[in-house]
Amino acid sequence: MDYIDFLYQSSPKISENMVGERLEDAVVCSEQKNLTQLLTLMTMEGDFPINVRIGNQIFDYHSFLKLDMISGDVGVTNLYLIIDALDPAIGNIRIRKSDSVMIRMCTKRHNLEFRVNYLELVKRNVLKLSFPEQIIIRTEKRESIRVSVDKSWGFTGSITRKAGITFPVKLINISSGGLFFQPVGELPSIMDGGEIECHFKWKSQNIRCDTQATIIERTSIDEVVYYRCRFIFEQYDSAMRDLEALVATAQLLQIQRRRELFKDFKTPSKTKGDGKAKGDKKKRKKT
């Protein structure tokens, strides 16, 4: 039994998560010592891949988490997060103006989620977040990691409706389970539950993929319409293998980009009684 299994077995059960979603087989860990040890374990080998949801927005961003512990203070821990949306600067602004940030971490057997708040900008895109008061641990099947699609990749997509009409789309994010996209041009008539075919082309990576999908959500953000669809596979065939290769390539490019952004960053050394951090906090309260 590993440490997360131990926490799962010994922590009290919970029926809802922090946004009111019903949960099954979930527990909540809230003891400071356990929280610190758990996050230390998860990040001890470097940057840990995470999903980030800002406030009540539907976007999930793919990023990495670093943990820094202030020397001499028991239970005082800083989380450093670098966020990468379609536009990294916009992603950072959204976090800095949001009331809260939801972070999800996945292992082979568990999903972890916790809510934190923005504290201050450390350097460039590196943000300092509060230490979580609790972490929800679930044993459900690992969630598909969504990867934000960078337009500089030259990765394009289109959608064909059941009636045979094809239209181009702007790819927002993709995972092995589904796609989040914005129609380009005239708004198509697609209903929830509607069947579509997704076409992907990534010339620089020599990848082409076509797969069936079902529309599961239509939403509007700032008067712009977006759709979310779930891929459909009846068997493990060439289409599914092509899609897995496509998503794996996108994830690799994202990881390489994060490492480039993080390579020159060093966690500021702080000691107990550091007046600068306290002064920054007081200054923030006055604004």
CATH of the domain at 231: 2.40.10.220
Give me the tens of pLDDT residue by residue for the chain, a chain 287 residues long: 478 888 888 899 887 765 556 666 789 999 988 998 898 888 776 667 777 888 766 556 667 787 776 544 555 556 666 654 434 456 677 788 888 888 888 776 788 899 998 888 877 667 788 889 999 998 754 456 678 888 889 899 999 988 888 999 999 999 877 899 999 887 777 777 788 999 999 999 888 999 999 888 888 888 888 998 988 876 556 777 788 888 888 888 877 777 766 665 555 554 444 444 444 444 444 44
Q: Are residues 180 and 131 in the same domain?
A: no
Q: Are residues 39 and 92 in the same domain?
A: yes
What per-residue confidence (pLDDT) applies to 101? 87
What per-residue confidence (pLDDT) applies to 159? 93
SS3 (DSSP) at 265: coil
Q: Are residues 184 and 153 in the same domain?
A: yes
d(CA 134, CA 224): 35
Those residues whose C-beta lies under 8 Å from the C-beta of residue 105, and which sit 6 or more positions away, are: 42, 48, 49, 50, 51, 65, 111, 112, 113
Q: With the CA atoms of 285, 133, 92 and 275 taken in that order, what torsion angle do they form, in degrees rounded to the nearest 10? A: 40
What per-residue confidence (pLDDT) applies to 87? 42
Query: DSSP letter at 131?
Result: P
Residue range of the domain that includes 193: 147-257
Q: Considering the domain boundaries, does residue 40 fall inside one?
A: yes
Q: Are residues 129 and 30 in the same domain?
A: yes
SS3 (DSSP) at 8: helix
User: Per DSSP, what are the bridge partners of residue 49?
Assistant: 64
What per-residue confidence (pLDDT) applies to 253? 84
The separation between the first and the last C-alpha atoms of the chain, rounded to the nearest angstrom, is: 48
CATH of the domain at 58: 2.30.110.10
What per-residue confidence (pLDDT) applies to 156? 93
Phi and psi (nearest 5°) for 17?
-90, -165
Of the candidates 89, 98, 97, 92, which has an alpha carbon nearest to the alpha carbon of residue 80?
A: 92
Across the chain, what does the average pLDDT equal?
76
Number of structural domains, the chain?
2
What per-residue confidence (pLDDT) applies to 241? 79
Q: Are residues 12 and 131 in the same domain?
A: yes
pLDDT tens, position by position, 34-67: 998 898 888 776 667 777 888 766 556 667 787 7
Q: Are residues 184 and 107 in the same domain?
A: no
User: Per DSSP, what are the bridge partners of residue 111?
Assistant: 106, 138
Where a domain ends, among 143, 167, 198? 143
Q: Which amino acid is at 24?
A: E
What per-residue confidence (pLDDT) applies to 196? 92
Q: Considering the domain boundaries, does residue 277 fall inside one?
A: no
What's the whole-model pTM score? 0.50
Where a domain ends, among 143, 176, 196? 143
Q: Considering the domain boundaries, does residue 267 fall inside one?
A: no
Q: Considering the domain boundaries, does residue 28 fall inside one?
A: yes
d(CA 111, CA 115): 14
Q: Maximum distance among all alpha carbons in the chain?
A: 68
Q: Are residues 72 and 159 in the same domain?
A: no
The rounded Cα 137 to chain-centroid distance in angstroms is 16
Encoding tokens for residue 238? 């060439």
What per-residue confidence (pLDDT) applies to 279? 47
Q: Considering the domain boundaries, does residue 51 fall inside one?
A: yes
Q: Are residues 177 and 134 in the same domain?
A: no
